[in-house]
Structure 1
Amino acid sequence: MSIDDSPSQGSAGGVAPYEETPLLRDNDDNQSKAGSQDERPTEETIIPEEVSNTRLAITLGSIFIGVFLAALDSTVIATLSAPISTSFNSLSFLSWLASAYLIANAACQPLSGRLTDIFSRRTGLVVSNVLFAAGNLICGLAGDEATMIAGRVVAGMGGGGLMAISTFVGSDLVPLRKRGLLQGIGNVCYGTGAGLGGIFGGWVNDTWGWRVAFLAQVPLVVISGVLVYFTVNIPPKKSEKSKLSRVDFLGAFTLVVTLVLLLLGLNSGGNIVPWTHPLVLISLPLSLVSLLLFIYIEAKVASEPVIPVTLLLNRTVMAACLCNWLFTMIVYAVLFYVPIFFQIKGDSTTVAGMRLIPQSIGVSFGSLFAGFIMNRTGKYGLLSLGLMFSLVVGSGLLSTLTFNNPSWPVYIYLFLLGSGYGGMLTVTLLACISAVSHDHQAVVTSATYAFRSTGSTIGITIASAVFQNLLLSGLHDRFDGLPGAEKEIRKIKDSFDELKHLPSGWKDGVMDSYAGSLRGVFLTSLGIAVLGMLHRNRNRSAADATTAEDAPQRTDADLRLVEAHKPLDITNARIITDGYDADVAHWLKPAGQNTVREHAQNLINDLCVMRARTKATKRPVLFVAHSLGGLVYQGALLLCVNPNGEAQGTLLDCTRGIAFMGAPNAGSDFEMFTTAVANIISLSFVNSPNRQLLEVLKGRSQVLANIKNGFLTLVRIESRKAIRRSRYILFFEELPIAATSHRVVTPDSAITLGYNSTTIPTNHMNMTKISTQNDVGYERVSGRLMDWISEIENASGVPTTIIRRNTANDPSFQEVMNDLKLSNASYYRYHKRADKFIPRPDLQPKIVNIMTQESGTATRVCILCGMGGQGKTALAIDSCRQAELNHLFLAIFWLDASSTEALKKGLIAISDMVKHSMDQTDRSDEERIEFTLQIIGSWNRSWLLIFDNYDNPDQFQSLSRYMPSSSQGSILVTSRNSDLARLGTVVEVPPMSQTEALSLLYDRVGGAEKFPEQREDAKKIVHLLGYLPLAINQAGAYIQRRVNFPLSRFIDEYEDRKHLI
């Protein structure tokens, strides 16, 4: 590999990187693609104003009324279907009563996401309420079958919008981590409505007739619509285009046609007409044609597609949609045929509906339980497995029912089914919206609801087809040849009332036929449940794999940061970035290919030449490796252990971090870091599997493991030597979905003793890691990289000693210079002061006074005590600077007192500068330290010794033994331990006042004028951060690096991610 202008053999990207290569560059193709995308009119997401808890409760309460009624209306037909069908003298009409509602529901839900992005959530909710009320009014007044079905269609259009848009509003107003609990509450409303629909319908039918069940909902819907109009105030997205021109009419039309044709064919076949009827044979193929046309329009034509098809390529989104699709089939089949089971046994419609109460309770319990677990832990891998197992068990037990069974076991079966379903809805929806950016959340939610509605319709259709065909087959097998059999079978098929007027000798045969047909429905549900479970496990296995899918030669342009936001202005560090394809895994050299070792050697040679040519041999280096680049970088640094020349040895010393953005495998898996505790900074973006790459790695795993183990040994050695300290952080890409594992890699890989790990959601398409500066992954990674770069820059000025300039004529200065191996003004290093430091006028004069007051013969000791992050070190730095500017001390020594080893190391470093009167070669470290302290104590001019981070006194036998005794000396100690009064005068460092904290925040973000009318948000931020200067500084840096970033958004993101802190 070379790092000049020629392509590298081992590079996956074509042009090899060098030290001034941007962090992650775009190639021409990507730039052209970006350019084409930029030609589309820009769309701005407007962040809604934060609302109070009371206003939030009123808003969501008004919306959940509609959710409850929409869910109730979707299942009220479960007990009303028989009396309605009987009143129109057509039991085959039964499935259309439900399917008409659900087809319209499924057709409109995908549209609601994009349309409410354009016209606002409030407009969508009001229109949905109007349609829902109108549909129920039509049903209540219907005089024939056609009018009844038309009313169900109109009601379905409104009900679909009510359920989907309620979730959009929750996503707009509630932080992500709390949405699990919110979605649980929403699913309680949904589950309660769905569970009570049958009971309500049966009771109303038995008391006043079935028409009242529809008419009674109208006034409640009107109330909900009025409340929504006055409480929901979420602005639509802004765009340069007019609202109507933004609507994807072609996509909407083809989607509706696709769903209607598909469901029409499935619902008619085997129920109203035979499967060989032209209606079925024409509608199903046409639905496929319409689907292909929809995909083409969404991908190539629509500027703002109803459902961006690329979202469905995201495995998280697709897995969530399929889970909703399959398991909703089961639940709706059960909801419609369990009441029929009990009505055949002789229960009234009211009693049959009441049998569904355990299912409703189960949905509520499962939703709240899943939301609570996710809210507390953020994890749901095992949770999703348990929920789906509950669904399978419930379905299996229902298939064992007979008319001779007691009723109480059914309650347990329905509870298991309901709890699994309710939890599944919460987990999959939260996984889906966390996998995409905020801009796509409404659209993706619409997609999951569309799959849910389609699944419910197909479930009822399949169940109806199984029930009708098995019933007719059973009846014909038993009664064909008897007088009047054909006419009697037709009556049984069309009306349950016929069960009361069966001919003599028919009852047992008819009941057996019904039992067989119902068992067929429940066994079909069991089969679908098992299929869903297998789908979940298949995705889990795929997620557990650990190498890159689809693109073994993926370039660094596919892992890009936004061009305008790359950290280009880096003065004290250079970033090297590269990736390698699967061929790098070969140790035995194939024709025309280099081995890992050869790539590593080329990297070292070219990098050393470049650094020498640019006179940058001492410049710190950060490596960013993706694909298998990490193996090459590890191999390169291992070769530097036994360097071929000074340049290679220097390269190892200058390495400050390796950012692993590739895929763990047998040779580069991140378990190799689980015991590393020091100098290598690591990030892990983990892809999904590539079987070709896995096959290559399988045969070379031992070679790659040797590289891994050798590199781990290197890390451990440097850790023991305490060569340098670096924070150690792991970033793991997350696939947060019930149908896959919690992480792409095993959880153990993300656990490092003594350190935290952070995840990055898969909010990207086509495995592009970072697509815009708004991505969560971009914000976390770029922010962390800039923090590391700042640390490197600070490290270049971290002092051991400060000697005041321009004092050559001072005799005391000359005395000190005689003791130190320093020429006049040749060694002037000081701790770099934070750019944004807010003075503490209540503390600084007190500190200076203690350090300069008369003390007789004793050394003056001042102890700054406070919690971590209070700014003790910053105060010490500022006091040091003020003392230097005012010529208070001739010499200042800064020592790390976080441990005995670090303190001794600092004192030995000072000892190396002291001109001893005798040879120190044979002296022990303790003797050298003691001799150095004596020399400092003998100076006749003032000096200052700073012991920073003395937080663990138990590690020291006594700190006083390292304090020189002199009337000229002053000592400043920073510590979290308040029990240090025996050492000197304690100065408590309290949190900043609100005024000081606000001043620091505004100073860090570029001034209060950048955030007009956001002072209350600023107050909330400093309050959330406990008025801690360190936390406020970091928050300010985070905000300052982002464009058009309101303070309220930081509050939301802090609430979403504070569990990671």
Structure 2
Amino acid sequence: MSPSLRDTDETRPLLGNDRTDAASYSSSATQRSHSSEPPAPDHVSRTDLAWVLAGLWSAVFLGALDGTIVATLLSPIGSYFNESNRSSYIGTSYLLSVCCFTPLYGRLSDILGRRGAMLLALSFFGSGTLLCGLAPSMDALIAARALAGMGGGGVMTVSSVAVTDLIPLRQRGLYQGMTNILFGLGAGLGGPLGGWMNDALGWRSAFLLQMPILVFSFILVALKVSIKLPEEVESQPLHAKLRRIDGFGSFTLVGTVGCLLLGLSLKSTEELPWTHPVVWGLLLASVVFCVLFIWVETCYAPYPVMPMRLIKQRTPLFVSLSNFFGSVAAFSMIYNVPLYFSAVRLNSSTGAGLHLLPHSVAISTGSVFAGWVMRRTGRLYNLTLFSCLLTVLAASLVACWNESSSALHLWLDVVPQGFGMASVITTTLIAMIASVTREDIAVATGITYLFRTTGQVIGVSLSGALLQTVLTAKLRERIHGPDAISIIEDIRHSTTIIPTLSPELRKAAVDSYADALHVVFICQAAINFMCFLCCLPIQENPLPGTHEEQEEAYRKRRDTISRTDSESS
């Protein structure tokens, strides 16, 4: 059953059952109190809003385009520098940087303003992309990708925060759906566009030809994005604003996330054992940084980059966890479904990739559908649970694939995963925004994207490590003889060799991959179910349909927090 609509904050007991009627909530907007509080966002004209969205969304589109372009170019770049064994670090350095710096932009957008934070993100992303196109060596290219990731982590976060400032919550989901369509379009075009650029103009052109879009986005953001911050922040000089940055908290957060993801990535890409000193040393360092980070954010930082009071609240906590588990499962499926068709069905790379096309279409459809439902009903709880169950269904269907599965199942079983996860990502973001005060929106959005991006990288790394572990064990059971070790290593590192093997070895390889992927797909279903469990405690707050109603909701939530703090003291 859906929780009742509430106008109180997340500080209430977990089993509280007080009810607030939606109609009384709407009528209370007319009794708005003009107390000292942050100013309401400017009501921009439709034309200005279109220009603002063009500036923000062009950057989102470019970020998605860049990611798949670079994935396509890893092999040509590795061959160009004669360092193919290190080409995976081009992607890893970017993803690690994105994960580490994404949450920092939530607080930066409250200090520098939405425009200032977005321009900073575009500057890092643009500088890194330009340096990639000019890189004289593989080391320089890897460093440039890390620099680009420092900005790429902020593009999605700040654009989401800015759109939230301008669009009432009831309509916000629909705009998030349109954002996801552009993101999906960019990701879909990046692969073929990157391949064409490499063949026609060389791999450097794929980076350099992104610059005109970056300049277009930079100019529009600089000219059109103008969202007021609270007066106490607006009136401060720049050096005073910079002092509000939580340097120690940012450093320990980057250490926590960076060491964790680097350790898992090395375990997966370099196939190091868990007992290797580099792997367990990085994981131990992540734990130490995490303890320091919690202490800094709880006891030391006056303006914490991740306020612990938010994580302790019911909806922000479970939104973060649901985004984490959902992203782990989603990216595990995105990377392993094509592998199934390459290694088990022995399809070409093009044919394997095409099986994700229905999934990509479902992602765009699911996000827009969720936005449309929230706009029509003003509710999100039941939609969130239904969407989560779709992902569990999809992962269960994929886990049942075998040699007798029909072509229809192989094409369509991934659709509920894309549709459901896109809907969950949209509804939980709105649930997060609706559960906090306006002062915390930017930070809360950054937290959501942190858990989401961390889940993406961990999903790829852990599923890869699990796959290789099971695959190696199965291959050793089935392949024997004097050349067994070298054959097993060849099969593990390249699926293209499988069709060239003798019938006995080919069957052993196909069956081993099928067994390993079956285990991975079962784990995906379990993780999607964890996502569903995390969505159950999420509370449903009213979704205001106008700016006035939204300001009233923020005022009520702020008053409730003040009363709760007074009572507890």
The TM-score range, normalised by the shorter chain, is: 0.7 to 0.9
Distance 1:468 1:511 in 2: 14
Q: 1:769, CA displacement in angstroms?
A: 3.4
Aligned position for 1:422:
422
The 1:169/1:491 distance shift into structure 2, 3 A limit, reads same
The 1:316/1:395 distance shift into structure 2, 3 A limit, reads same
Q: 1:275, CA displacement in angstroms?
A: 0.4
Corresponding residue to 1:160 among 153, 157, 164: 153
Give the TM-score of the pair, scaled to structure 2.
Answer: 0.81
Aligned position for 1:506:
505
Per-residue CA distance 1:284-303 (angstroms, 9 max, x = gap): 12211211211111122111
Distance 2:481 2:282 in 1: 36
Aligned position for 2:167:
174
The 1:510/1:330 distance shift into structure 2, 3 A limit, reads same
Q: 1:199, CA displacement in angstroms?
A: 5.2
Distance 2:139 2:45 in 1: 47
Distance 1:232 1:525 in 2: 40
1:311 aligns to 2:310 (yes or no): yes
Q: 1:463, CA displacement in angstroms?
A: 1.3
Per-residue CA distance 1:379-413 (angstroms, 9 max, x = gap): 12221111001111112222233577565434322
Q: Counterpart amino acid of 2:409?
A: P
Give the TM-score of the pair, scaled to structure 1.
Answer: 0.45
Distance 2:191 2:403 in 1: 20
- Kept in 1, the 8 Å contact 2:438–2:554? The answer is no
The 1:478/1:144 distance shift into structure 2, 3 A limit, reads farther
- Kept in 2, the 8 Å contact 1:63–1:228? The answer is yes
Aligned position for 1:247:
245
Aligned position for 2:540:
736
Q: 1:191, CA displacement in angstroms?
A: 3.3
Distance 2:210 2:517 in 1: 31
- Kept in 2, the 8 Å contact 1:82–1:496? The answer is no
Corresponding residue to 2:179 among 168, 181, 186: 186
- Kept in 1, the 8 Å contact 2:475–2:509? The answer is yes
Aligned position for 2:393:
393
SS across alignment from 2:414:
helix
Aligned position for 1:260:
258
Q: Counterpart amino acid of 1:234?
A: I
Distance 1:490 1:521 in 2: 20
Q: 1:52, CA displacement in angstroms?
A: 0.2
Q: 1:48, CA displacement in angstroms?
A: 3.7
What is the correspondence of 1:283-298 to structure 2 with a 5 Å cutoff? 283-298=282-297
The 1:143/1:114 distance shift into structure 2, 3 A limit, reads same
Distance 1:283 1:212 in 2: 36
Q: 1:760, CA displacement in angstroms?
A: 6.8
Distance 1:304 1:427 in 2: 28
Corresponding residue to 1:231 among 224, 228, 232: 224
Q: Counterpart amino acid of 2:66?
A: D
Aligned position for 2:4:
none
SS across alignment from 2:413:
helix
Aligned position for 2:472:
472
Q: Report % sequence identity.
A: 37
Aligned position for 1:60:
53
- Kept in 2, the 8 Å contact 1:391–1:421? The answer is yes
Distance 2:204 2:517 in 1: 28
Aligned position for 1:334:
333
Q: 1:262, CA displacement in angstroms?
A: 1.0
Q: 1:111, CA displacement in angstroms?
A: 0.4
The 1:421/1:209 distance shift into structure 2, 3 A limit, reads farther
The 1:181/1:270 distance shift into structure 2, 3 A limit, reads closer
- Kept in 2, the 8 Å contact 1:200–1:353? The answer is no
Per-residue CA distance 1:1006-1046 (angstroms, 9 max, x = gap): xxxxxxxxxxxxxxxxxxxxxxxxxxxxxxxxxxxxxxxxx
- Kept in 2, the 8 Å contact 1:108–1:157? The answer is yes
- Kept in 1, the 8 Å contact 2:380–2:431? The answer is no
- Kept in 2, the 8 Å contact 1:133–1:218? The answer is yes
The 1:206/1:386 distance shift into structure 2, 3 A limit, reads farther
Aligned position for 1:528:
527
The 1:356/1:69 distance shift into structure 2, 3 A limit, reads farther
Q: Counterpart amino acid of 1:261?
A: C
Per-residue CA distance 1:927-979 (angstroms, 9 max, x = gap): xxxxxxxxxxxxxxxxxxxxxxxxxxxxxxxxxxxxxxxxxxxxxxxxxxxxx
Q: Which has the larger radius of gyration?
A: 1
Q: 1:213, CA displacement in angstroms?
A: 4.6
Structure ranking higher in helix proportion: 2
Larger CA deviation: 464-473 vs 363-372: 464-473
What is the correspondence of 1:393-472 to structure 2 with a 5 Å cutoff? 393-402=393-402, 405=405, 407-472=407-472
What is the correspondence of 1:572-583 to structure 2 with a 5 Å cutoff? none
Per-residue CA distance 1:426-445 (angstroms, 9 max, x = gap): 11111111111111100000
Q: 1:764, CA displacement in angstroms?
A: 5.9
Distance 1:451 1:126 in 2: 24
Per-residue CA distance 1:804-863 (angstroms, 9 max, x = gap): xxxxxxxxxxxxxxxxxxxxxxxxxxxxxxxxxxxxxxxxxxxxxxxxxxxxxxxxxxxx
Distance 1:458 1:228 in 2: 33
Distance 1:404 1:149 in 2: 44
- Kept in 2, the 8 Å contact 1:270–1:469? The answer is no
1:112 aligns to 2:118 (yes or no): no
- Aligned pairs, number: 515
The 1:400/1:482 distance shift into structure 2, 3 A limit, reads farther
Q: Counterpart amino acid of 2:521?
A: F
- Kept in 1, the 8 Å contact 2:437–2:554? The answer is no
Larger CA deviation: 226-235 vs 455-464: 226-235
Q: 1:424, CA displacement in angstroms?
A: 0.8
Unpaired runs of 5+ residues, structure 2, are 1-35, 544-551
Q: 1:251, CA displacement in angstroms?
A: 0.7
Per-residue CA distance 1:225-281 (angstroms, 9 max, x = gap): 222222212244443571221111111111101100111122222542110011122
SS across alignment from 1:298:
helix
Per-residue CA distance 1:176-199 (angstroms, 9 max, x = gap): 222122222222223333455455
Q: Counterpart amino acid of 1:736?
A: E
Aligned position for 1:360:
360
The 1:412/1:204 distance shift into structure 2, 3 A limit, reads farther
Distance 2:256 2:150 in 1: 16
SS across alignment from 2:42:
coil
Distance 1:289 1:409 in 2: 46
Q: Counterpart amino acid of 2:242?
A: L
Q: 1:217, CA displacement in angstroms?
A: 3.1
SS across alignment from 2:540:
coil
Per-residue CA distance 1:113-143 (angstroms, 9 max, x = gap): 1112111222222222232233334445657
Q: 1:203, CA displacement in angstroms?
A: 6.1
Aligned position for 2:562:
771
The 1:420/1:437 distance shift into structure 2, 3 A limit, reads same
- Kept in 2, the 8 Å contact 1:78–1:339? The answer is no
The 1:186/1:368 distance shift into structure 2, 3 A limit, reads same
Q: 1:346, CA displacement in angstroms?
A: 5.2
SS across alignment from 2:306:
coil
Distance 1:401 1:47 in 2: 53
Q: Counterpart amino acid of 1:432?
A: M
The 1:219/1:349 distance shift into structure 2, 3 A limit, reads farther
SS across alignment from 1:769:
helix
Distance 1:85 1:496 in 2: 19
Larger CA deviation: 265-274 vs 374-383: 265-274
- Kept in 2, the 8 Å contact 1:194–1:360? The answer is no
- Kept in 2, the 8 Å contact 1:202–1:348? The answer is no
Aligned position for 1:322:
321
Q: Counterpart amino acid of 1:384?
A: T
SS across alignment from 1:474:
helix
Aligned position for 2:119:
126
The 1:407/1:309 distance shift into structure 2, 3 A limit, reads same
Unpaired runs of 5+ residues, structure 1, are 1-42, 541-734, 744-758, 776-1061
Structure ranking higher in strand proportion: 1
- Kept in 2, the 8 Å contact 1:203–1:349? The answer is no
Q: 1:49, CA displacement in angstroms?
A: 2.5
